[in-house]
A and B are shown apart, each in its own frame.
Chain A
């Protein structure tokens, strides 16, 4: 792809040492958008890079996030839902809730949008190598977990880990994200997918019940296994003790936290838990680390 004319001058200070301005978004194009859920509150955006050199420079691992920026409306942080193995695109699933997310829902295909990132630490994918993965997700927090699963399901990476078990819960079947992909996962023999809802309907074939209870019921082995969970605070709160009861040591439980953020780079102050910033030192924390911090989340 040829460089678009007049790539913006991002060289910064006129002083001696050039500084990169981390507050400037890079331009992306909304390639495709899709409503995910029956309540129409979740929309997945597929973005492609406007400038080739920025695409080349963009390297991320599952669990990292970006600030999506709409000029005139503002910025908000979202986990990257696509896997690093999907080249040239970034996917984000947006829950419509406030000013920025509403604008993101109204954005038309072909429109320009800004991003800043990748931000945060991401899941420790190297640490997971050679082990089993237990992935537990609730509601629309499933985005970065989807990135993680897709990353390890890629033919280049599948042999890096042993078994994958995914427990995914939503309030209703219509609220599950990435339904087509879930069907594909169900057909695989190298992944165990357990889906659960709070209220089923006549077509529902999965489980009915809350995620922590389903976890207790299927009781996955903790041996040689890392657990990764992401969901609403209430789910996290009740899932930790179940994992402990299943003999998962604190060091092998990881979760990704969400906090109100602005800068995304550890300057603006609001997302700290103790001396750590969710944006910069997280959003992924081991339970062993989290346990030592004030319960400010």
Chain B
């Protein structure tokens, strides 16, 4: 089902939305810096930056999240509350790459044996309104990782910027709940033609260029490759790539308490930090940048695919855009793909 939403009505559309939902959308903090936040006023919503610096993952998996609070009184029943969300939510304005990443995270957090209730509850209570990516950047490579600038999977509603208006596609049952919206107007063949044109143009711009197909098998042969000795050398281990990555999901759990009152909190963590795997004894299974860089790339392109049958990268390009030493994950992938035969590489043992 397709409609048109005029931009002049957009803020009022958002205002309506906020009556029924908690709205999360990109907010501009400074020139070129936008992040996903809970919206208090419709005019805060800022949809022009193509790849908001921080991904939409923090709507489901906040950088710092209280898991539960407690207050110990004479050793009795100390856990007071778990952190739960009450209202239904709308995530608006994330691009298809970020939405694809959420399905990658969901596979980890849902799991077969244990359910991460914090992530899953937010996911279940969220309606996703995706914004198409009309002008992919040069750092974007979503088409190479199985996505695309107009990929609709995982979205409940899909918006395309037509200039004066948005074309709105209702894709799921959750999306259909919006079919009677008072700001939606009928869309015509002119609008559909424009949609098709924009989609073709963007897809052409984002054509697959990085050989991700078969990367898992090639990396199987490269576990002990000299490749890792070289590639980590310029990395300063700042971890910005892992924090901005929409699919990185590592976290630390700590207690914050004064006297006997406090909270258990989880915070994003990074496999590029030496302390991440450092054991109390002093032993560190990943003692140098070689092992840590290998961990980051192998997790995305070899370990995760072994468990979940797809690469854990959506080609958003944030790690390339914001790396202070210009480490380009695409170069690493190109290099890995150029090493094919078993003879060239150290065996995996």
A residues adjacent to B (C-beta < 8 A): 6, 8, 12-15, 19-25, 27, 71-75, 97-98, 101, 110-112, 233, 258-260, 262-263, 265-270, 272-275, 280, 291-292, 294, 296-297
Contacts and interface: CB of A to CB of B under 8 A. Distances in A.
Contact of B253 (A262, A274, A275, A280): A262
Given A21-B82, A24-B79, A266-B111, A275 B250 contact: no
B285 A259 contact: yes
B191 to A, nearest CB: 37
Interface string B290-311: 0100110011001110110000
B77 A74 contact: no
Given A6-B77, A24-B82, A272-B303, A74 B277 contact: no
A296 B251 contact: no
B68 interface: yes
B276 to A, nearest CB: 6
Given A12-B84, A23-B67, 10 more contacts: A6-B77, A25-B79, A71-B70, A71-B78, A72-B260, A73-B255, A233-B283, A266-B108, A267-B108, A280-B114
Contacts of A75: 253
A296 B291 contact: yes
Contacts of B291: 296
Contact of B302 (A19, A112, A260, A275): A275
Nearest to B76: A112
5 tightest Cβ-Cβ pairs between the two chains A and B: A269-B250, A72-B257, A275-B306, A265-B114, A275-B303
A222 B307 CA distance: 34
A97 B283 CA distance: 13
A26 to B, nearest CB: 10
Contacts of A97: 280-281
B180 interface: no
B121 interface: yes
Contacts of A269: 249-251, 269, 271, 299
B249 A267 contact: yes
Contacts of B78: 71, 112
A27 B78 CA distance: 9
Could you say which interface size class chain B belongs to? Answer: 35 or more
B116 interface: yes
B333 to A, nearest CB: 18
Nearest to A21: B117
**Secondary structure call for the A interface:** loop
Contacts of A292: 348-349
Interface string B265-280: 0100101000011111
A280 B70 contact: no
A15 B111 contact: no
B109 interface: yes
Contacts of A280: 113-114
26 contacts: A13-B117, A15-B125, A19-B121, A23-B68, A23-B253, A24-B82, A71-B72, A71-B264, A72-B257, A73-B257, A98-B280, A111-B75, A262-B252, A263-B251, A265-B116, A266-B114, A267-B251, A268-B253, A269-B251, A272-B303, A275-B302, A280-B113, A291-B349, A296-B285, A296-B286, A296-B295
A112 B250 contact: no
B124 interface: yes
B109 A267 contact: yes
A20 B286 CA distance: 33
B35 interface: no
Contacts of A291: 349
B226 to A, nearest CB: 15
B328 to A, nearest CB: 23
A97 B277 CA distance: 16
Given A112-B75, A270-B250, A275-B302, A13 B84 contact: yes
Contacts of A25: 79
B42 interface: no
A238 to B, nearest CB: 15
- Most B CB contacts (10 A, CB to CB) among A101, A273, A274, A292 go to A274
A267 B111 contact: yes
Contacts of B257: 71-73
Contacts of A272: 295, 299, 303
A273 B75 CA distance: 38
B187 interface: no
